[in-house]
Structure 1
Amino acid sequence: MAGPASQRITITVLGPFLVRDADGAALPIKGAKNQALLAMLALSPDMTRPRRWLEDKLWSTFGPEQASANLRQALSKLRNALGPAAEVIRADRSSVTLDRRAVTVDLHEEVVPEDDRVELLQGIDVRDPEFEDWLRQERAALLSKLASASPTDSRGILINCRASTEAPGRERMLGEILANQIGENIAEQVRAWRQSDSDMPLPEGAPVSDVSVSTQLMENGDGGHALFIKATHQPSARILYSKLQQLDRLEDILNAEIDVSRTVFEAADQIIGKLPHVLEKDRPETRATALSRLGLYRMFSFEKDALREAYGLMDQAFRRDENGIYLAWASMIRLTQMMELAEDDQEGLLEEAVDLHYRAMELSPDNVLVHAIISKVRGTALGDTAGVLDLAQNAVERNPANAFAWKSLSEALILSGDMEGGFTASERACRIARTSPFKHYWDTGHCIVAIACNRPQEAIEAGEAAVRSAPLSRPGHRHLLALYALEGQLDKAQAVAEKLAKIEPGFSLDRLVNDDSYPVRTLRNKGLLEPIRALL
């Protein structure tokens, strides 16, 4: 089982070597050989190597006893430098290992550098011939990986959607509807085509699908049905997603009830996350999917440097595959940078967000997810209440299993003055997105909606859910601080303030309360910053 979040580290090997702790702070790994030791373990199969192998690479000119002593000393220095994360290094008499569950390595992400001039372990100077040989081989492997990722013509991901039942008729139709909903959710986020199922053989020359999404419905004897969903990468037969679920009523599929919608959203999300691992690396849609996926992780951190990186990743994704969804995400990133005061040129960010949202609509006018994303941009940047509501309602009507669509509808209803409707839509969005790796995005939004609707207890519950799933999320902590102070829980409020001081450069209680530009507009409008003065 993975250790606590405080014991996790991130290792950067692309460019200069860098290690960060769970809070994103750089750790002082001093000494070229100590850095090299950690890097070699990070890049090794299963993150493990025999002691003798490490000694040969770093102390090849020393005798066995001295090399062994040097390795022990290096491990001791590394553990001291890692502090609370020291346990990620495990050593016994024969080998040294990093805990893979607690270590993230940038090169192990699906994305490789866009610029082939990025050098592996840039500037590291170990001065051991064996290490230099190893480093040359690793750099050559990286260049080979870059070459294999060169784009070809985009043809889109082909998804075969099928259903099987004990008998044709109503159940088969509902199974096909569900399979197609999953395929549709995938096609909103990546360039993809759905291939209809047929009992007849495919026409000669028809392409074999990349992904098969199949559903099976079977009566379980008590009036309900057992539903089994499976998604497979056809060429390799790898299972990308599977789930067994009980349905009390088949009508739940037609009515897009919460449990069904959550499954559709979850299935599409997990399939998309695995696509870069199974598709051919030279396909633009593979590369673009990997880049955009990493961009979402960076964007939903809401951190200044991560937002910059997220924009660059979406820009790279679009240059690989000119899909309007990447422009929509880029527009949302610019808007987020503006709202988070992450950059000085606020007017420039606003102009770019608006321009990107128009371009996204031109390229992908029928994409429901694009409608959902740009509705937020249109509401915040242009104040077009009627247009925002129209886009959001259209998104929900066309795809009620899309949590982004429900969030956009929530914000549109709040903007138009329907507070109760906005709260209900936001609550539904959170329930659909409950298993998403970005669930804190919906929980944070629901926290703010609950504040706007004068529901402090629901706001606290949503805020606490957000920071549980994203401990470094600044927006969730900001709103929890005010809510705890409002409820008189000053100890909790003080603890959150101390956390914010660690994860947000320049944070102070004085700035939160007295700086009108600080990004807590809803708290300020509701007068909820005043209780925080008790902590000043």
Structure 2
Amino acid sequence: MNQTHANKITISVLGPFQVRDGDGVVLPLKGAKNQALLAMLALSPDMSRPRRWLEDKLWSTFGPEQASANLRQALSKLRSALGPSADTLCADRSSVSLDPRGVTVDLLEEVVPEDDRIELLQGIDVRDPEFEDWLRQERAALLSKLAKASPSDSRGILINCRALTEDPGRERMLGEVLSNQIGENIAEQVRAWRQSECDGPLPEGAPTSDVQVSTQLIPNGDGGHALFIKATHQPSARILYSKLQQLDRLEDILTAEIAVSRTVFEAADQIIGKLPHVLEKDRPETRSTALSRLGLYRMFSFEKDALREAYGLMDQAFKRDQNGIYLAWASMIRLTQMIEMAEADQQPLLDEAVELHYRAMELAPDNVLVHAIVSKVRGTALGDTAGVLDLAQNAVERNPASAFAWKSLSEALILSGDLDGAFTASARACLIARTSPFKHFWDTGHCIVAVACNRPQEAIEAGEAAVRSAPLSRPAHRHLLALYALEGQLDKAQAVAEKLAKIEPGFSLDRLVNDDSYPVRTLRNKGMLEPIRALL
């Protein structure tokens, strides 16, 4: 079975039981035993159990025939509630299972809760002694997992950066530059050290690296080179990333051309995403990486409850490993909550964003990504145009392969009045981040920059790209609604308005047009909201 994004489901067993579809919408699964049936399958080996085992756990006081009938009825109700995802639930004469390709379970995603008081399947009330026994065992296993995840001293992730080549000159030097750029991009987002072998063999007693990033440049006969990049987890020899691409000019590495920058950014992003799955679970940098990664997914949804959860995850990451990058992300989350009006009282959010950005800079003064993140906070919260531009320019100069740095420069140039420069910087950020799982973040930003630069068609293209990547993205939909209306495409504008009414509680066209506090400042300043009145 080929599972599409829309048909995949996410099952939450930490805290109250909940099931969401591929768009993040909560599915209405009623009945404690129906919920328990799905939870037991989700937590079972291979997500499969014999029918008789399930019947014994949920209907132990019933006779075999009645228990079997009850299971059939429960399966029917579950399939109905799952809707388009019904095929995820499989059953034959002997067993019942979930298709692992279509299911994500929070407890199995490497991130266990920080607070050991959180309860597995909190509040579920099945009232069957066999199920209660199973639940006690599962909760005990969770407590054991939490105990094993208690942190040890943080030593940082060790990344061995090397160039594989027989030529000791130019090719080797450029290969080393590239592998170090990938290592540096990783070290901006997690606590890490880079280790080089290019000056000779490692000294005796040197620690074994966690990750090895190697590059190889091979002349292809027409003046160009084949570039092969591979990153492996050294203790297990697992490949975390590999890519083969063509380089027409070796100088592209030194000038950070788009194709090279995209590869560097992509490699670092994919390696970081896999680190929690390969590093020892008792290392604080492992836990913090997993927590912060999950926090980014929550943050870039821009949804009220998800933003609150994102802040909590970054706070947990910082408690595990006091790296300033987590404070910088927390600062940005607070600012986003303020902009999105996610909380009623805005001033405390602003004050905390400012305080967090100062602490982030104190703890990580040399971290380029921290500079890129806090530049937005300085611009929005403090109105420090000169300071914002200085931070953003420094970030781009030191790491031209960072899509975050180019986005921060774009926003700084908007503040300083350089609209053409802002558009160019934003477009470059989008190209670098094209393969990122958070691609919609850059596309949405580019849509807003294009609006500021009076380029409605480019804004529409960027907004449409954002909603393709993130169908529930509120900011992108808001801007597309106004842009479609501006272009006279009222049918499209009306369709977007209907979508916003579903994904944004309290949304209305009247609020969008007439509420000055609604988060569409650039559209309002440009007078682009007036055409929407045709839909009122």
Are residues 1:20 and 2:20 paired? yes
CA distance in 2, matches of 1:152, 1:70: 48
Q: Give 1:63 deviation, angstroms.
A: 3.5
Q: Could you tell me how far apart the structure 2 residues matched to 1:168 and 1:401 are?
A: 25
1:5–1:239 distance in 2 versus 1, CA, 3 Å:
closer
**Residue 488 of structure 1, CA deviation:** 1.1
User: How far apart are the structure 2 equivalents of 1:102 and 1:286?
Assistant: 26
CA distance in 1: counterparts of 2:178 and 2:204, whole angstroms: 28
Say if 1:102 and 1:175 are closer, same or farther in 2 by CA, change over 3 A: same
What per-residue deviation string (whole Å, max 9, x for no partner) do you get for residues 230-277 of structure 1?
A: 101111111111111111111111110000000000000000001111
Q: 2:351 aligned with 1:351, yes or no?
A: yes
CA distance in 2, matches of 1:510, 1:47: 48
Aligned equivalent of 1:386: 386
Deviations 1:118-161 (A, max 9, x none): 11011222233332222122111111110011011111000000
Equivalence for 1:446: 446
TM alignment of 1:411-422, pairs within 5 A: 411-422=411-422
Q: Where in structure 2 are the equivalents of 1:31-50 lying within 5 Å?
A: 31-50=31-50
Q: Is the contact made by 2:331 and 2:374 (CA closer than 8 Å) also made in structure 1?
A: yes
The within-5 A match list for 1:57-456 is 57-198=57-198, 200-456=200-456
Residue 504 of structure 1: aligned partner: 504
Aligned letter for 2:465?
A
Please state whether the residue corresponding to 1:241 is helix, strand or coil. strand
Alpha-carbon distance in structure 1 between the residues aligned to 2:41 and 2:362: 48
CA drift of 1:308 comes to 0.5
**How far off is 1:23 after superposition?**
4.2
When structure 1 is superposed on structure 2, of 21-30 and 246-255 the one drifting more is 21-30
Shift of 1:487: 1.1
Cα distance in 1 between the residues matched to 2:336 and 2:313 = 15
1:222 Cα shift? 1.9
Residues in 2 aligned to 1:501 and 1:380: alpha-carbon distance in whole angstroms? 28
Distance 2:46 2:524 in 1: 50
Q: Retained in 2: the 8 A contact 1:48–1:97? A: yes
Structure 1: gaps (5+ residues):
none
Percent identity over the alignment is: 88
Contact 2:8/2:102, CA 8 A, preserved across alignment: yes
How far apart in 2 are the matches of 1:392 and 1:201?
38
Most deviating of 7-16 and 240-249 = 7-16
1:153-179 deviation per Cα after TM superposition (whole angstroms, max 9, x unaligned): 111000000001132110000000000
Separation in 2 of the partners of 1:45 and 1:519?
46
- Answer whether contact 2:176 2:198 (CA < 8 A) is retained: no
Q: Aligned equivalents of 1:94 and 1:485: distance in 2?
A: 57
Stretch moving more, 416-425 or 75-84: 75-84
Partner SS for 1:207: coil
Question: Which residue in 1 is equivalent to 2:490?
Answer: 490
**TM-score normalised by L of structure 1:** 0.98
How many pairs are equivalent?
Answer: 536
Q: Is 1:10 paired with 2:10?
A: yes
* One-letter amino acid of the structure 2 residue matched with residue 435 of structure 1: T
Question: In structure 1, what is the Cα distance between the partners aligned to 2:257 and 2:95?
Answer: 52
| Cα deviations by residue, 1:70-101 (Å, 9 ceiling, x for unpaired) | 21110001112223332321222332222333
Conserved? CA contact 2:183–2:268, under 8 Å: yes
**C-alpha separation in 2, matches of 1:2 and 1:510:** 42
Q: Does the Cα contact within 8 Å between 1:23 and 1:503 map onto a contact in 2?
A: no
Q: Aligned partners of 1:38 and 1:26: how far apart in 2?
A: 15
Give the Cα–Cα distance (whole angstroms) in 1 for the partners of residues 328 and 30 of structure 2. 42
- Greater than 4 Å deviation, 4+ residue runs: none
Matched with 1:532 is 532
Does the 8 Å CA contact 2:287/2:320 hold for their aligned counterparts? yes
Residues 99/508 of structure 1: CA separation in 2 closer, same or farther (3 Å cut): farther
Deviation at 1:450, TM superposition (A): 0.5
* Aligned residue identity for 1:453: C
Structure 2 distance, partners of 1:142, 1:464, is: 42
Partner of 1:460: 460
Q: CA RMSD in A?
A: 1.4
Q: Residue 525 of structure 1: CA displacement? A: 0.6
Say whether the 8 Å CA contact 1:191–1:323 is kept in structure 2: yes
Q: Deviations over 1:428-459 (max 9, x none)?
A: 00000000000000000000001111111111
Instruction: Tell me how far 1:347 sits from its aligned partner.
Output: 1.0
Distance 1:344 1:128 in 2: 43
- Matched-pair contact (CA < 8 Å) for 2:261–2:401: yes
Amino acid across the alignment from 2:428: R
The 1-side partners of 2:32 and 2:344 are apart by: 37
- CA contact 2:156–2:191 (8 Å) conserved in 1: yes
* Runs of 5+ unmatched residues, structure 2: none
Tell me if the contact between 1:166 and 1:218 (Cα under 8 Å) persists in the aligned partners.
no
Q: CA shift at 1:198, angstroms?
A: 4.1
Distance 1:459 1:37 in 2: 47
Deviation, structure 1 residue 199: 6.6
The CA distance in 1 between the partners of 2:25 and 2:171, in whole Å, is 54
Taking structure 2 as the reference length, the TM-score comes to 0.98
After superposition, what is the alpha-carbon deviation per residue over 1:288-343, rounded to whole angstroms, capped at 9, x for unaligned?
A: 11111110000000000110111111111111111110010011001100100111
Q: 2:163–2:198: 8 Å Cα contact kept in structure 1?
A: no
Relative distance call for 1:64 and 1:22 in structure 2 (3 A) is same
